[in-house]
A and B are shown apart, each in its own frame.
Chain A
Amino acid sequence: MLINHPLLGPRDVSEFVYLGDASLIDRPDWQAGDAGEQFHDYLYLRDNPAGAHRELWFHEQGDRSWLVVTRHTVTHEILKVELARDVALARGRDK
C-alpha cells in the first residue's frame, strides 16, 4: 500500500501506524449534560462501511503527522488524504 501524503507524496504504508476511525477527532465536550453517553459513543461505536472509510494514520517513520485517509474498504483505493490537523481545525476543534 502507498499513502499519498499531502506534503511528501506517496510513501510506503510501512512508515505509518494505523489508529482507527477518523471520528476519533470529534472528542465530545466533557461538560455536556450527557457527556457520559457521548464519550461512550465516541469511544465504542463505529460504522463499518463496505466502501469509503475515513481513518487516522500516523506517519511515525516520517514527518510525524496524523493523516485522515479516505480509503475504500473493498478495493483499498485511497480516495483522499488530508492532514488531520486541517481536518480538526475545519471541524471547529480549537483550544
Chain B
Amino acid sequence: MSDYQLTARAPLGGLSIELGALSLTEIDAYALGSIAAPRGERTRLADRLGVALGLAMPAVGASSLSQDGSLRLLGLQQDQYFLMFKADPGAAISFLTEKVGDAGYVTDQSDSWAKLCLKGHLARQALSRLCMIDLHPKQFADGAVARTVMEHIGVILLKETDDSFVLFTPRSSVRSFVKVIEDGMRSCSNQQESA
C-alpha cells in the first residue's frame, strides 16, 4: 500500500442543473476511448469489434449501440471511433486493450472530455442557440453524432433521442461551456414562459 491515495474529481464535480423543463447533468460514469483502424485493416477491426463487443462499425456521423445498451461506438472520423462504455474510467485503457487487441490503436479519452447530458422536450431548441448543425429529426436521427463547435468551444454531440443529447466537451473549458449552454437553456424556458 502506498502512503498516498489519489482521489478522482469529475470535471464539474457532478453538476446537475434544472431550468424549466430542461436538465443538464454531468455523466461521469462513462469511460471513453478512441479506436483507430490501421491503414487498410478496417475490416479486421470491424470483425474484432463485432466479436469482442457485439458492435457494428458506424459510418462517420452515426453510432452503433450494443444490444444491452452498455456500449456505444461513435463514428467521428474516417478510421477513428470513440467507444463510450459504462465503466470506471480507471479501467478504460485495460478494457480497450483487451477487447481491441492488435486490431486497432487505442487511447484513453475518458479524462479528455467532460460529459454532459441535456434532457427535456426543449433540448433541441436550447441547442439551436449554440449549435450550427441541423438537429431536426429528418436530418439528425437518433444515434447521430457530430463533432462541431459551439461558442468557440469544441463539442462532440450525440443524439440519444429527440429529448436527450449527450455532449462531450474539453475538460479544461467546460465551465465556460456550461455557462453558454445554461444561457441557451434559460433563453428557451424564458421564451416558453412568456409565450
Contact = CB atoms under 8 A, between A and B. Distances in A.
- Whether chains A and B associate is yes
Interface of A: 7-8, 11-12, 14-15, 61-65, 83, 85
B60 A63 contact: yes
Interface string B43-80: 00000000000000001110000000000000011100
Nearest to A13: B132
Contacts of B135: none
Interface residues of B, number: 13
Per CB-CB distance, the 3 closest pairs between chain A and chain B, nearest first, are A61-B149, A63-B77, A12-B132
A62 B78 contact: no
A14 B154 CA distance: 12
A62 to B, nearest CB: 5
Nearest to A63: B77
Given A63-B77, A64-B77, A65-B77, A14 B149 contact: yes
A93 B153 CA distance: 34
A63 B82 CA distance: 12
Contacts of A11: 132-133, 148
A7 B61 contact: yes
Contact of A61 (B61, B76, B147): B147
B100 interface: no
Nearest to B150: A61
A7 B132 contact: no
8 contacts: A8-B60, A12-B132, A61-B147, A61-B149, A62-B148, A63-B77, A63-B147, A85-B78
Contacts of B154: 61
B138 to A, nearest CB: 12
Contacts of A64: 77
